Amino acid sequence: MDTKKWRMDTSLIHTGQEPCQKTGAVVSAVVPAVAYAFTDAEAAAAVVAGEKEGIYYGRYGNPTIAALEAKIAVLENGEAALGVSSGMAAISGALLAFLKQGDHVICTRDVYGGSYKFLTSLAPRYGIAVDFADCTDLAAVEQAIRPDTRVLYLETPSNPCLTILDIERLSELAHAHGLTVIVDNTFMTPYLQKPLELGADVVVHSATKYLNGHGDVIAGFIVGKREAIQFMRKHIMGDLGQNLNAWDAFLILRGLKTLGLRMRQHCQSAEQIARYLEAHPAIERIYYPGLSSHPQHELAKRQMSGMGGIVSFEVKGGAQAAKSFINALRLAMISFSLGDPETLVQHPASMTHFSIPPEEREAFQITEGLIRLSTGLEDVSDIIEDLEQALRPLVSTVKAGS
């Protein structure tokens, strides 16, 4: 069967994974080798020079990782993919591939704290400048473009406020000015959104999250044109030592087989939770693109095939109320990660986005009362019951203050 005609759930299982020709094993082998032997010196030199296909050193990949990279590339409809050691390795590697000393990057205003920290602390040390723009406003983005701007970096839905950005229109604008568009697709995965099809040049993922889906791997991916990916493999990932390892690659290959099942359940449960929270008296504001009240709801329906498993919301009463609520949870766990089978909650202002100065957090809508909830795979009724018992004391406080 032509793999190009496979639907996503079939492709997740079969793409890039053939039974072993020698043993017939259905599951991909874990190849942890560092060194690879050659028949002669000429063959080794040809592989190193890129004149011949092959692997010559484990820091640049291995057969297990190659199988995973091939699958990720197909899922994102990219020419090639690069597996790296973390989501931040993917973000930093992609940015460094297109930026050098004296260059400028425009970044979406509402962005993951790790991305913000890299762009504001490490990138300037190498002469790279950044401006954060409201990327829901094309005029604001165009106004931020400078003669030395080289990259437009987007995250949609954003972390943690789930702002939806129009990838197609932003890519058209960026390309008209000669910019490279990089999109963090971690929250959606290729199951729910394909930025390259919408005009983006490069996609990055924290595979630590939904792609692996089991909370036991730290990894990242970069997807794009073959030439760009090869440059990153040889001159960024390889030189900086950001390589993925074979065991983690194997675990992600295994996790991907259930991505469709997991994402459908994450989405279904998250929507029920969002509707419950939207009607709750202790909730000040709810951020979920599946709700008609979300400012980019219609764009989300056009651009995404599902609304994801993250629900962010602001409790009434600020930081103290937020922390009291989190501490009262019994099923949901306090954690920095997301996309796991377990429901995870965190307080962005003091956890994932603490590196952003308080005045800027406020401008980015990351208030002291904001909570980010990663919907797990538990029975949604149990999740809602846990939220209900943790919110109950806040209702009394709200009534007393009214």
Task: Give CA–CA dist 327/394, Å, rounded.
Answer: 12
Annotated catalytic residue within 71, 109, 194, 209 = 209
Question: DSSP states of 349-378 as a string?
Answer: TTTTTTTS-HHHHHHTT--TTEEEEE--SS
Q: Is 262 a catalytic residue?
A: no
Annotated catalytic residue within 56, 112, 191, 287 = 112
Q: Is 184 a catalytic residue?
A: yes
Q: Is 100 a catalytic residue?
A: no
Handedness of CA 104, 79, 71, 37 (dihedral sign): negative
Annotated catalytic residue within 184, 201, 248, 340 = 184
Q: Is 234 a catalytic residue?
A: no
Nearest to 28 by CA among 258, 250, 330: 250
Task: Give CA–CA dist 177/165, Å, rounded.
Answer: 18
Helices 246-256 and 63-75, axial angle in degrees (round to 10): 40
Q: HSE on the CB side for 220, CA within 13 Å?
A: 21
Start-to-end C-alpha separation, the chain: 65
Annotated catalytic residue within 9, 36, 57, 59 = 59
Question: DSSP states of 184-195 as a string?
Answer: E-TTTHHHH--G
Task: Give CA–CA dist 244/233, Å, rounded.
Answer: 11
CB neighbour burial string for 109-125, b if at least 16 within 10 angstroms, e if fewer = bbbbbbbbbbbbeebee
Active site residues: 59, 112, 184, 209
